[in-house]
C-alpha cells in the first residue's frame, strides 16, 4: 500500500545482466522488443493505456483475462500468455550488435494478487529474476508450489541479479499469514454484531480475505459494480453482491475509505471501518480521539526481548481498525526468499518507500558477490542503477540512530501518515472536487 504523496519509483529492469531495449518489465514508455506485466496494480501499469501498441505484452493467463476490462479496446493480438511455471523460449535482436539473442522466460506465481507473477529470465544475457510484488508465506501451499517451480526453472543456474519487492524490507515488519489476519478481521466483525462494516480494498487483491469473511459469517459481501465484474471474471460470483440491503458487510474502494466517510456513515448507522494493510499505524500522527483507549491494543504479541515482533490489529480511530493483512512479503519472508535464491546481486524495485532501506544493507551478505569490508553498507547513498538512477538512502540515515520500531515510525511520520498527513492534503481537494478520486496509485499493502 502506497500511502505517501509521491508514487513509488520503479526502475527499468534493463540493468546489469540485461541489455537496454530488449526487455521491459512493468515499464511501458521506453522502446523495447518485449514487454512483461507482473500484475495489474496501478503502480505497475503506469503508462499502459487502451491504445498502447509498442510491442508484444507477456503476462499470466489471469492477467490476460482481466486486462481487457481494465483497458477496454486494448489490442488483444499483442497479448502473449505465459502459462505459470512453463519456460518459454524467445529470440530477440541485440540493439547494439544486431546479433540474435536467445532468452528463456518463466512466469512464477507471486501469490500477491490475482494473476501476479515473477519473471525469471535466462539465456545469452545472464540470469535475472524480477519478483514484482510478491508474498511467499512459509505456510502457504501456493508459495511452496511456486518455490518448487522456481528451483526447477533455475535448474542450478545462479541468479545474477535479483530485482526484489522491498516494500517491507525492514525488520520492524513482521506479519502473520494472510489466513490468520483474515480471521482477525472476522473476529472484529463478530465483536460488532450490531454494526455495519466497511472494509477498504483496491481494484484488485484481497479477494481471499473477503471470501473468508463471507464464509465465516455466512453472508455475502457488497462491492461496487466494477469490482463485481472483476469478481465474476475471477470466479467469485457466489460471494459478492451489489445489493446493499442483503448484507451489513461492504468492501469499498480506497479513495472512499476516509475518516470523513466513517464519521458520516455513523450519523446514519453504527459503522466500523477495517483497513487491511501491512502498513503500521502511528496513533500520534493524527488527531487524538479522547474516546480511544489504545492500552493493550497496540502491543505486539511477541514483544519479548530477542523475539521478532508481529503486527497485530489496532484500533486507530474511534471507528477504524487496522489489521496487518499484507500482500507483500514481510522481512523474515524476504530473508528466506533471498536465502533460497542466493543471487549474486540484489536490487529493490521500490525506490520511494516510506521506510526504504536498500536490501543490500540487510541481505548483501546473503549474495554470492558479497565482500565484507568491515564498513557496513559503504555503498549506501552511492548506488546507481545502470540507467543512471540514484537509489534513495535518506531514511537509512535515520534508521541508524533509532530503535527498531521507532525508526519505522519516524520514517513514516515524515513521509506519509495516512489519516494524519494525508488527511490534511486530501481534505481540501475533496472539498473542491467532491467525490473525485484522489489517488489510484495506491495499491495493496
Ligand atoms: Zn501490487
* Full DSSP string of 311-339: ---EEEETTEEEE---SS--HHHHHHHHH
Confidence of residue 97 (pLDDT cuts 50, 70, 90): confident
Q: What is the pLDDT of residues 272-298, one digit of tens each?
A: 999 999 876 544 433 444 444 333 333
Whether 445 contacts 1, CB under 8 Å:
yes
Terminal alpha carbon distance of the chain: 4
pLDDT at 310: 76
> What's the grid cell of residue 193?
454484531
Residue 19 C-alpha to ligand 1 middle, in angstroms?
A: 26
Residue 172 C-alpha to ligand 1 middle, in angstroms?
A: 21
Mean pLDDT, rounded, for 112-127: 96
Question: Which residues contact residue 187 at a Cβ distance below 8 angstroms, ignoring those fewer than 6 apart?
Answer: none
Domain residue limits, the chain: 23-172+328-415, 178-277+281-323
Nearest C-alpha neighbor of 330 from the set 172, 443, 207, 174: 174
Residue 401 C-alpha to ligand 1 middle, in angstroms?
A: 31
Q: What is the DSSP-derived secondary structure letter of residue 288?
A: -
Mean pLDDT, rounded, for 11-24: 60
CATH 3.30.470.160, applies to 178-277+281-323: no
**How are beta strands 34-36 and 23-25 bridged, if at all?**
parallel
Q: What is the pLDDT of residues 182-209, one digit of tens each?
A: 999 999 999 999 999 999 999 999 999 9
Confidence of residue 177 (pLDDT cuts 50, 70, 90): very high
Residue 11 C-alpha to ligand 1 middle, in angstroms?
A: 15
Residue 145 C-alpha to ligand 1 middle, in angstroms?
A: 20
Confidence of residue 353 (pLDDT cuts 50, 70, 90): low
Mean pLDDT, rounded, for 314-341: 94
Residue 39 C-alpha to ligand 1 middle, in angstroms?
A: 7
Residue 330 C-alpha to ligand 1 middle, in angstroms?
A: 14
Residue 222 C-alpha to ligand 1 middle, in angstroms?
A: 23
Sole residue written with cell 471474471: 233
Report whether pLDDT(159) > 90: yes
Report whether pLDDT(393) > 60: no
Nearest C-alpha neighbor of 150 from the set 126, 119, 111: 119
**How are beta strands 100-109 and 117-123 bridged, if at all?**
antiparallel
DSSP H or E segment with residue 348: strand 345-348
Nearest C-alpha neighbor of 104 from the set 191, 162, 34: 34
Q: What are phi and psi of 405, to 5 degrees?
A: -65, -40
Local structure of 365: helix, strand or coil? helix
Taking the CA of residue 268 as centre, how many other CA atoms within 13 Å lie in the half-sphere pointing to its CB? 8
Residue 132 C-alpha to ligand 1 middle, in angstroms?
A: 8
Whether 19 contacts 130, CB under 8 Å:
no
Residue 147 C-alpha to ligand 1 middle, in angstroms?
A: 19
Under CATH, which number does the domain 23-172+328-415 receive? 3.60.15.10
CA 68, 73, 77, 78 dihedral sign is negative
Report whether pLDDT(304) > 60: no
Sole residue written with cell 540470469: 127
Local structure of 263: helix, strand or coil? helix
Residue 359 C-alpha to ligand 1 middle, in angstroms?
A: 18
Residue 94 C-alpha to ligand 1 middle, in angstroms?
A: 31
- Which has more pLDDT, 407 or 86? 86
pLDDT at 74: 97
Q: What is the DSSP string of 407-430?
A: HHHHHHHHH--IIIIIHHHHHHHH
Question: Which residues contact residue 153 at a Cβ distance below 8 angstroms, ignoring those fewer than 6 apart?
Answer: 85, 87, 106, 108, 120, 122
Report whether pLDDT(388) > 80: no
pTM score: 0.78
Whether 135 contacts 178, CB under 8 Å:
yes
Residue 444 C-alpha to ligand 1 middle, in angstroms?
A: 6
Q: What is the DSSP string of 375-396?
A: STTTTTTT-B-TTSPBPP-HHH
Whether 147 contacts 158, CB under 8 Å:
no
Amino acid at each position: 500500500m502506497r500511502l505517501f504523496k509521491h508514487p513509488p519509483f520503479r526502475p527499468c529492469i534493463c540493468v546489469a545482466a540485461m541489455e537496454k531495449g530488449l526487455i521491459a518489465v512493468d515499464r511501458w514508455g521506453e522502446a523495447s522488443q518485449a514487454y512483461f506485466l507482473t500484475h495489474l496494480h496501478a503502480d505497475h501499469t503506469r503508462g499502459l493505456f487502451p491504445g498502447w501498441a509498442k510491442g508484444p505484452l507477456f503476462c499470466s493467463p489471469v492477467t490476460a483475462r482481466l486486462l481487457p476490462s481494465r483497458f477496454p479496446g486494448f489490442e488483444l493480438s499483442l497479448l502473449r500468455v505465459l502459462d505459470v511455471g512453463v519456460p518459454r523460449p524467445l529470440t530477440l535482436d541485440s540493439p547494439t550488435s544486431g546479433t540474435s539473442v536467445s532468452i528463456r522466460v518463466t512466469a512464477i506465481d507471486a501469490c500477491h494478487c490475482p494473476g501476479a507473477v515473477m519473471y525469471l529470465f535466462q539465456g545469452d544475457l545472464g540470469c535475472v529474476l524480477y519478483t514484482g510484488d510478491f508474498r511467499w508465506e512459509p505456510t502457504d501451499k501456493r508459495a511452496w508450489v511456486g518455490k518448487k517451480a522456481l528451483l526447477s526453472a533455475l535448474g542450478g543456474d545462479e541468479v545474477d541479479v535479483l530485482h526484489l519487492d522491498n516494500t517491507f524490507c525492514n525488520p520492524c515488519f513482521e506479519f502473520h499469514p494472510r489466513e490468520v489476519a483474515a480471521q482477525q478481521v472476522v473476529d472484529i466483525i463478530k465483536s460488532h454484531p450490531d454494526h455495519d462494516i466497511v472494509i477498504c480494498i483496491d481494484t484488485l487483491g484481497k479477494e481471499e480475505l473477503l471470501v473468508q469473511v463471507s464464509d465465516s459469517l455466512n453472508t455475502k459481501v457488497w462491492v461496487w459494480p466494477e469490482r463485481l465484474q472483476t469478481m465474476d471474471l475471477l470466479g467469485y460470483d457466489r460471494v459478492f453482491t451489489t445489493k446493499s440491503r442483503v448484507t451489513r458487510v461492504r468492501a469499498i474502494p480506497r479513495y472512499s475509505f476516509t475518516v470523513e466517510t466513517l464519521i458520516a456513515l455513523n450519523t446514519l448507522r453504527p459503522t466500523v471501518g477495517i483497513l487491511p494493510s501491512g502498513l503500521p499505524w502511528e496513533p500520534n500522527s493524527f488527531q487524538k480521539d479522547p474516546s480511544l483507549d489504545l492500552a493493550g491494543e497496540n502491543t505486539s504479541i511477541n514483544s519479548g526481548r530477542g523475539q521478532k515482533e508481529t503486527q497485530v490489529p489496532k484500533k486507530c480511530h474511534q471507528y477504524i481498525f487496522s489489521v496487518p493483512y499484507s500482500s507483500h512479503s514481510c522481512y523474515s519472508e524476504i530473508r528466506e526468499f533471498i536465502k533460497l535464491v542466493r543471487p549474486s546481486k540484489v536490487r529493490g524495485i521500490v525506490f520511494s518507500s516510506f521506510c526504504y532501506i536498500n536490501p543490500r544493507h540487510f541481505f548483501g551478505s546473503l549474495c554470492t558477490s558479497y565482500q565484507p569490508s568491515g564498513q557496513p553498507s559503504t555503498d549506501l547513498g552511492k548506488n546507481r542503477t545502470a540507467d543512471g538512477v540514484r537509489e534513495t538512502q535518506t531514511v537509512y540515515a535515520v534508521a541508524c540512530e533509532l530503535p527498531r520500531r521507532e525508526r519505522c515510525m519516524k520514517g513514516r511520520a515524515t513521509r506519509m501518515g495516512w489519516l494524519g498527513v494525508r488527511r490534511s492534503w486530501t481534505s481540501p481537494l475533496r472539498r473542491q472536487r467532491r467525490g473525485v478520486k484522489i489517488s489510484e496509485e495506491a495499491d495493496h499493502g
